Chains A and B, each alone.
Chain A
Amino acid sequence: MSASDRLGAQAEPSIEGVTRPRQQDAPLLSARGLKLAFGGVKAADGIDLDVMPGEFLAIIGPNGAGKTTFINMTTGYLRPQAGSIEYDGQPILGLSPRVLVGKGIGRSFQLPQLFTEHTVLENAALAIAARAGLWSPLVPLLRPQWRAEAMALLDRFGLAPLAEVRADALNEGARKLADIAMAVALQPRLILMDEPTSGVAAAEKMSVVETLVRVLRDAKVTAVFVEHDMEVVERFADRVAVWSQGRIAALGPPETVLKDPAVLRDVIGIEPAHSHA
């Protein structure tokens, strides 16, 4: 069964005020037969995956299963030894991260990649300036137009009160959101997020995810995210792909996959009786 077959055809409610988009036929991202090994370790061992426009696809699995490797291959950071990747119907294998950003593929990082010497506002404005491609050495970064756009962006992420704070002084939740905000500033169609909630305090986690899901849905951005928190996956993912030893062990809606006893026991590592509510 193909990934698109597994997808529900109708829109369905997600978090309050946000509606999951109706899925279309042509995948936005399509990976076929991806293989990559580091020495004897197979980080990708024949990955086939379609990501449909507008969907939120969660990738789960144990450490070392190859989840981040998939993101790195898709964003041009790593080149697979075999296989192909198409984005919007065009092959993208071998293209650099810079070129892929121009095509609309953004990413965030497990360890947020913020410019730590700059304020949150400057980080956002720099991403906006990068998108504008205006690299005059004499135009101030915080000129009114970019400042206003950066403030609007930060406001959408709930970061406006922290605009003048240096990035290295943020707590982990804010760092994660700022990292994703920088990717969103580039107006991607597809964003790949590596563990957007790791390190975020438990009390903040859901509000962080709700914020970023709301912003991404509003901006009609398709999202692939690596996640370890099953509650987050269950609440916010349209589909979930279970990674195991460089392969996709299961793929489908979270309500199905996360109740699969084999997935619970062999991949997630918990006994079925202890599955979350």
Chain B
Amino acid sequence: MSGSANSLSRPAGAAPARSLGEGLPALLGIAALVLVAWAVPWLKFVLTIALAKGIAVLGILLLLRAGQVSFGHAMFLATGAYTVAFVAPFQTEALLLLPLAALLATLLGLAVGLFVVRYRDIFFGMLNLALSMVLYSLLEKLYEYTKGTDGIRVSVLTFAGLRPERETQEWLMFGLALLLAVLFGLLVRAYLASPMGRALAGIKTRETRLEFMGVSARRVLLFAYVLSALMGGTAGALVAMTSRHVTPQLAYWTSSGELVFIAILGGAGSALGPFLGAAAFELVRVYAAAAVADAWQMILGAVLLLVILFAPGGIWGMLAGRLRRSA
């Protein structure tokens, strides 16, 4: 045995797996967000939307770990948002609307997931896209209930029974989004370190081995899918409560593409990636739209191109590399 060990301990290019600590960058990121929101009040809205989208992109990150790309995940975001819009006239309490929206999106995720986790790669991606477009069509065509492309105005909400002033409400939404972002970030981090999370990566590399370990790859993927739907629904509720207006555009395929775009931009190597990507995306969009109103998409495209060419690990991968080198 010992002879065996000696002869085998000469791996080609072996490098011990290392993970960079995320705690300090996360704390710095939170501090920076709060500082910017305080220093530039109008950016509070932008950052709240960015945090909400970051939560949705966390779900995309889970699927990316399994090597699957969903081009239809905006359907869960839209489900959460429309749940808030539909129920708000009867129940204005934000702290009830939020879990309700998340629950409905989760149930939709379970129903859709049971079907789509049977497929992989392009089929998985396109089935998600197709189903999201069905939802988009329903939201657009059922005008009597959804007001079509006009969308639905969300009623003024209460927080723990109180109806704060606008400025306070903006801070509350920002704080709620930040809190949920932290909680979901920690949840995803713990999940990815668990056997289920590790098995998720196994779907990408060795699905056959999973089956020969007695593990259902479909169940592993389904759990991740439902969790991603939960996060998508939560994100949608936050978007609806922040923007107070929902339209079918939330479920359109370009919205799903935006989530994938943010995932690549931020990097899938860490739970911080989606939030870095979402913040960068929203800020570039806001400032690019202000500077060159007709060409902001071109600027976003150029940013993504640069990331793919020069930082394939996304913004997080770039930061992690710099921190590792300086350590």
Contacts and interface: CB of A to CB of B under 8 A. Distances in A.
Interface of A: 75, 96-98, 101-102, 106-107, 109, 113-119, 122, 125-127, 129-131, 134-142, 156-162, 164-166, 169-171, 173-174, 177, 182-183, 186, 203-204, 207-208, 210-211, 214
Contact of A115 (B7, B201, B227): B201
B39 interface: no
B215 A158 contact: no
Contacts of A207: 3-4, 7
A157 B11 CA distance: 16
A182 B4 CA distance: 18
Contacts of B297: none
A162 B11 contact: yes
Given A115-B198, A116-B205, A130 B215 contact: yes
Contacts of A135: 195-196, 199
Interface in B245-304: none
A182 B194 contact: no
Contacts, number: 153
B166 interface: no
Contacts of B214: 98, 101-102, 130-131, 186
Given A98-B212, A137-B197, A204-B4, 18 more contacts: A96-B211, A107-B212, A114-B206, A114-B209, A115-B209, A116-B206, A134-B195, A138-B190, A138-B194, A140-B194, A141-B195, A159-B5, A160-B5, A166-B16, A170-B8, A171-B10, A173-B8, A174-B11
Nearest to B188: A137
29 contacts: A97-B211, A98-B211, A98-B215, A109-B208, A113-B206, A114-B206, A114-B209, A116-B206, A117-B205, A119-B16, A126-B202, A126-B213, A134-B195, A135-B195, A135-B199, A136-B196, A137-B227, A141-B197, A156-B1, A158-B4, A158-B5, A159-B8, A161-B9, A162-B9, A162-B11, A171-B12, A177-B8, A204-B7, A210-B1
A116 B202 CA distance: 8
B212 A204 contact: no
Q: Which 8 A-B pairs give the minimum distances between C-beta atoms?
A: A113-B209, A158-B5, A101-B214, A129-B195, A158-B4, A130-B213, A169-B14, A207-B4
Contacts of B14: 162, 165-166, 169-170
Interface residues on B, range: 35 or more
A222 B5 CA distance: 24
Interface of B: 1-5, 7-17, 187, 190-191, 193-199, 201-202, 204-206, 208-216, 223, 227
A169 B211 CA distance: 23
Contacts of A131: 213-214
Contacts of A174: 8, 11
